[in-house]
Structure 1
């Protein structure tokens, strides 16, 4: 089940919290949504449960699922979580050959 997706300790803790709150302890789903301007950007979406996906990462009690059609896009992603007094959110480091979005939640594959 190794798809080379890395989950930080802070992201693991927040995924566990959200999965428990959502009624699916230990199970979360990640997928990539296209931007609404059709510029090629992909942004992460996290939801509780497996959502019919396949397991792509397992760490410290959390299993992360993803759509089988997006497995190649998940290669090399690094999922992190940042929080401070004003709030928090998930951030990703894009895979090799991709440009990171300004907000840290998306990427665009670079053309050759």
Structure 2
């Protein structure tokens, strides 16, 4: 995993991943993969342990693993965590445009605009 080319973790995401790994009995190791979403292309699934795959992010004592074929899709993303009194959840951010479902759980790359500024549809 070349430095700066993998999935980026915020301090809040690393802290929550570390907490979840410790509770699950797999300190320092979590697994993330993209599964088919309902309203957009992908949903991020996070589970404890290494399972299978390659390291895609490291921060604050946590290593996040993902299937090898998903590394390229994850490379331009940042994983954040937000929590409040009613709960919390992981958020995806990107420097490139994303479409996020109203449910907040699914995302897709935004369609590339055509030359006249109208988004392409598929």
TM-score by length of 2: 0.80
Deviation string 1:22-76 (CA, Å, 9 cap, x unpaired) is 111000011111124xx65201010001111100111110000000111111011
Aligned pair count reads 110
Matches within 5 A, 1:20-99: 20-36=22-38, 40-94=40-94, 96-99=96-99
Choose 1 or 2 for highest CA Rg: 2
Distance 1:101 1:76 in 2: 19
Partner of 2:119: none
Q: Provide structure 2 residue ranges, at least 5 long, that are not aligned to the other structure.
A: 113-122
Query: Retained in 1: the 8 A contact 2:98–2:107?
Result: yes
RMSD: 1.7
Partner of 2:9: 7
Structure 1 segments (4+ residues) deviating >6 Å = none
